Amino acid sequence: MAKPRNKYGRILIKMSGEAMMGDRQFGLDPKTLSFIAGEIRGVHKLGVQIAVVIGGGNIFRGIEASADGIDRSSADYMGMLATVMNAIALQNAMEKAGVPTRVQSAIEMRELAEPYIRRKAVRHLEKGRVVIFAAGTGNPYFTTDTAAALRAMEIDAEVIFKATKVDGVYSADPVKDPKAKKYDRITYKDVINKGLRVMDYTAITLCMDNGMPIVVFNLKGKGNIKSLIAGKKVGTLIEGNGQGNKK
C-alpha cells in the first residue's frame, strides 16, 4: 500500500514563550518541554522539514517592561535574550528526544547559537535538522510574530503553524465569552477588520501580501501537529481574501 503523502513538506511553528510554562506562572516546565519535543519528533519522523520561532514572554516581555518605564529599545532587546534562553531549552529537550537541531540567533552570540544565515538555515532543513530561530528579527519594535512571518518567507515554508492555548480563532475570547464563535476558516482581512488578536497586524499583513497561510491550533492537543501535516482539519486556517466561515 502506498504511503500517504504529507500535506506540507516544510513548516514553521510559531510558539509563544508562555506555551513552555505549562501550569506555572513563570519560567519553564520540563514536562511541557518534553511534550513539545515529542510532538515535533513525531512530525520530524515523517520527513517534514521543521523550523521554529519562539517567543520569550514566559521570562520577559518587552512591551510590558516598556510600559513600566524601561526604554522600549532596551526592553525589546531584553525580550530577545529571553527567546534565546527558551530556544536553548527547547533544543536540549528535542535533542534528548533524538531530534537533531540547530539554534540560529538574529543577535550574534557564537558561543550559544549560530548567527542567522538564510542559506545555512535552509541547508540545515534539507539535512533533516530542526532549526530554532531565536532573538526575533534582531530589531526592537518588532514582535516574534513578525519574526515568524519573515522567517517563513525567507525559508520558503509552506505554512505557519501558530501554536496557542486555544483550539483556533474565535469571534471573542472564549474564556470570557461563552457565546464566542469558532472559525474553521477566516481570511487575513477579516482578522484585521474584526480586530481578532491572532498575530500582530504587521505579521498578518506580511502573510497576506505573500500568500502565506496560517493555522492557529492548540499546542496542548496531543497529535495536533501530526494531524495538520496529514491534512486533517484542526484549529483555524487563515488565508485568502473572501469572507471567513464560522463553524
d(CA 56, CA 28): 11
- Residue 186: closest CA among 134, 239, 140: 239
d(CA 189, CA 9): 27
Each residue's pLDDT tens digit, 209-229: 999 999 999 999 999 999 999
Query: Can you give the pLDDT at residue 161?
Result: 98
d(CA 80, CA 66): 14
Burial of residue 47 (CB within 10 Å: 0-12, 13-18, 19+) is exposed
Contacts of 128 (CB under 8 A, 6+ apart): 44, 47, 49, 100
Query: Can you give the pLDDT at residue 23?
Result: 83
CATH, range 10-227: 3.40.1160.10
Query: Can you give the pLDDT at residue 114?
Result: 97
d(CA 209, CA 188): 10
pLDDT category of residue 148 using cuts at 50, 70 and 90: very high
Residue 214, number of CB atoms within 10 A of its CB = 29
Each residue's pLDDT tens digit, 174-188: 878 888 999 999 999
Burial 188-203 (b: 16+ CB within 10 A, else e): bbbbeeeebebbeeeb
What does the H/E/C string look like for the chain? CCCCCCCCCEEEEEECHHHHCCCCCCCCCHHHHHHHHHHHHHHHCCCCEEEEEECCCCCCCHHHHHHCCCCHHHHHHHHHHHHHHHHHHHHHHHHHCCCCEEEEECCCCCCCCEECCHHHHHHHHHCCCEEEEECCCCCCCCCHHHHHHHHHHHCCCCEEEEEECCCCEECCCCCCCCCCCEEEEECHHHHHHCCCCCCCHHHHHHHHHHCCCEEEEECCCCCHHHHHHCCCCCCEEECCCCCCEEC
Query: Can you give the pLDDT at residue 166?
Result: 87
- Residue 241: closest CA among 205, 189, 198: 189
pLDDT category of residue 1 using cuts at 50, 70 and 90: very low
What average pLDDT does this structure show over 142-149?
96
Statement: the pTM of the whole predicted model exceeds 0.85: yes
* Predicted confidence (pLDDT) at residue 243 exceeds the cutoff of 50: no
Q: How many CA atoms lie within 13 A of 89 on its CB side?
A: 25
What average pLDDT does this structure show over 96-107?
97
Query: Can you give the pLDDT at residue 177?
Result: 87
Query: Can you give the pLDDT at residue 173?
Result: 83
> What values do phi and psi take at 33, rounded to 5?
-60, -45
- What integer best gives the mean pLDDT of the chain? 91
Each residue's pLDDT tens digit, 14-54: 999 888 888 888 889 999 999 999 999 999 999 999 999 99
